[in-house]
Amino acid sequence: MDAYLNEWLNLIIRFAHLITGIAWVGASFYFVWLDNHLETPPQEKADKGIKGDLWAIHGGGFYEVAKYQLAPPQIPANLHWFKWEAYTTWITGFLLLSLMFYVGADTYLIDKNVADLSQFQAIAYGVGSIIVGVGCYEILVRTKLKDHGLILGLILLILITALSYGLTQVFSARGAYMHIGAIIGTMMAGNVFFGIIPAQKALVAAVEKGEAPDASYGLNAKLRSTHNTYTTLPIIFIMISNHYPITYNHEYNWLVLVAIILITAAIRQYFVLRHFGKQKPMILVGAIAALIALAYAIAPQKLTLTEAEKSQKITNTQVQTIIEQRCSACHSSSPSDAVFKVAPAGVMFNSLDDIKRWAPRIKARSVDASDMPFMNKTQMTKQERRILALWLTQLNS
Ligand code: HEC
């Protein structure tokens, strides 16, 4: 596909994905908050079947919200459903995944240093992992396990860990992370499509027929929407993870991802409980402590200089030669790379001044993490990274 057209498509789809995602997560946060803040209504409202009462002020107006025990006596003419924010987030997400990682599989999904896949194989593994992951989830929530939240949660964690490990063994690190995101995101959209909306439709149908609605529908929908509550923060992390090679490019990147999923889910739990007026600050403290421990555990190794290196002065020319050979194919005013025709992220190393200006990011991408050169396309050696590291320390001293 034409690179310029591809860029516009990418921009438009990503923009749409972000907007729909904000609408979905925003609505989800709002309704979780709402549900957890409802108060016992005054008698006259309770007599009408209202279970929860809430007053709010926003944008210069008062809002009175009432939640029914099960359903109102009749369905109002205008009932607002919340499903399209979920569906459109999934559709735009899948389009973006396909455009970047499937159409662009050779560039973004296949890392020959990890596994030498063909484009077809890579797409098959990718789509296959989504189907397997979501299929397992859909089976599990239909079994008796649905009544044992903790066990179900543990099994799902093992499933995600296994998928995370497996995918990092076949895909580029970013591709693996994004596929875990796609699996979780599809589960979440599936929760709306297969669980929550059918339950709501059954509820509406029962009320219209004047029958007593089956409470089990509501419970099932509640379980799925609870799952979605805990996956929102992890999935938002995965969405932005591509910017953080300290996470995805670590040797144990699959474990790092699982740790971040757990930590962010715990943070969500703290806020959910807080809505109820249950203050459990230790959850938040624990999560932050775990995050600090993780940051410490995955920190890049400090440079220990050998005696020879201590007296060695790295010249600017040495560095310029390395950058020229390993980076300029992409990062220059006229890249020679077959895929990247414009300097990626606007980063160009045309002169020594350019290199110095970008020094902190060169350290982040090529020394602390080693995800630049991109997929090591230009085959930078460990020795060259070490020379860059030495030069960077000398530059700052
Ligand atoms: C094959 C092409 C390619 C080569 C070679 C390459 N890069 Fe990149 N670089 C990219 C792409 C694509 C991006 C944008 C995506 C991203 O940030 O991961 C990028 C982004 C960057 C950024 C900007 C993002 C940030 O984190 O600030 C820096 C800095 C960078 N590369 C440094 C380097 C260095 C240093 C080298 C050589 C050691 C190098 N790159 C070699 C493709 C390449």
Give the Å distance between the CA of 374 and the centre of ligand 1.
6
373 C-beta closer than 6 A to ligand 1: yes
Work out which ligand 1 atom sits closest to the CA atom of 375: 1
> Which of 107, 331, 387 best tests ligand 1's pocket when mutated (most atoms within 8 Å of CB)?
331
Within-domain flag for 41:
no
Pair (228, 161) in one structural domain: yes
Nearest alpha carbon, ligand 1 atom 33: 372
Pair (141, 208) in one structural domain: yes
Give the Å distance between the CA of 243 and the centre of ligand 1.
11
Within-domain flag for 383:
yes
Pair (273, 136) in one structural domain: yes
pLDDT at 149: 83
104 C-beta closer than 6 A to ligand 1: no
Within-domain flag for 322:
yes
Nearest alpha carbon, ligand 1 atom 18: 243
Strand partners of residue 65 = 54
Question: How far apart are alpha carbons 355 and 10 in whole angstroms?
Answer: 29
- 3-state DSSP of 198-252: HHHHHHHHHHHHCCCCCHHHHHHHHHHHHHHHHHHHHHHHHHHHCCCHHHHCCCC
pLDDT at 186: 98
- 3-state DSSP of 79-131: CCCCCHHHHHHHHHHHHHHHHHHHHCHHHHHCCCCCCCCCHHHHHHHHHHHHH
Give exposure, 17-26, as e/b (b: 16+ Cβ within 10 Å).
beebbebbbe
Pair (128, 257) in one structural domain: yes
Give exposure, 61-83, as e/b (b: 16+ Cβ within 10 Å).
eeeeeeeeeebeeeeeeeeeebe
Pair (264, 323) in one structural domain: no
Pair (124, 229) in one structural domain: yes
pLDDT at 103: 95
259 C-beta closer than 6 A to ligand 1: no
Pair (209, 329) in one structural domain: no
Pair (287, 343) in one structural domain: no
Within-domain flag for 351:
yes
Pair (165, 246) in one structural domain: yes
Work out which ligand 1 atom sits closest to the CA atom of 174: 18
Residue 348 · residue 333 · CB < 8 Å: yes
Cα-Cα-Cα-Cα dihedral of 105, 109, 115, 118, to 10°? -10
Last residue of a domain, one of 297, 324, 356: 297
Domain interval for residue 323: 307-396
Pair (277, 356) in one structural domain: no
Within-domain flag for 311:
yes
> Which of 112, 350, 363, 374 best tests ligand 1's pocket when mutated (most atoms within 8 Å of CB)?
374
374 C-beta closer than 6 A to ligand 1: yes
Give the Å distance between the CA of 154 and the centre of ligand 1.
38
Within-domain flag for 330:
yes
384 C-beta closer than 6 A to ligand 1: no
pLDDT at 217: 75
Phi, psi of 153, rounded to the nearest 5 degrees: -60, -45
Work out which ligand 1 atom sits closest to the CA atom of 322: 38
372 C-beta closer than 6 A to ligand 1: yes
Last residue of a domain, one of 276, 297, 318: 297
Contacts of 388 (CB under 8 A, 6+ apart): 319, 322, 362, 363, 366, 367
Nearest alpha carbon, ligand 1 atom 43: 374
pLDDT at 376: 92
Question: How far apart are alpha carbons 377 and 44 in whole angstroms?
Answer: 71
DSSP string of 7-33, one letter each residue: HHHHHHHHHHHHHHHHHHHHHHHHHHH
Residue 141 · residue 195 · CB < 8 Å: yes
> Which of 357, 372, 380 best tests ligand 1's pocket when mutated (most atoms within 8 Å of CB)?
372
Within-domain flag for 17:
no
> Which of 100, 247, 330, 392 best tests ligand 1's pocket when mutated (most atoms within 8 Å of CB)?
330
174 C-beta closer than 6 A to ligand 1: no
Pair (133, 235) in one structural domain: yes
* Residue located via tokens 């509501």: 218
Give the Å distance between the CA of 355 and the centre of ligand 1.
12
How many structural domains does the chain have?
A: 2
Question: Which residue ranges of the chain lie beneath pLDDT 50?
Answer: none
337 C-beta closer than 6 A to ligand 1: yes
pTM of the entire structure? 0.91
Give the Å distance between the CA of 330 and the centre of ligand 1.
8
Residue 91's closest CA among 172, 17, 153, 170? Answer: 17
Give the Å distance between the CA of 368 and the centre of ligand 1.
14
378 C-beta closer than 6 A to ligand 1: yes
pLDDT at 16: 98
pLDDT at 3: 82
* Residue located via tokens 């700052």: 396
Give the Å distance between the CA of 157 and the centre of ligand 1.
33
Pair (133, 156) in one structural domain: yes
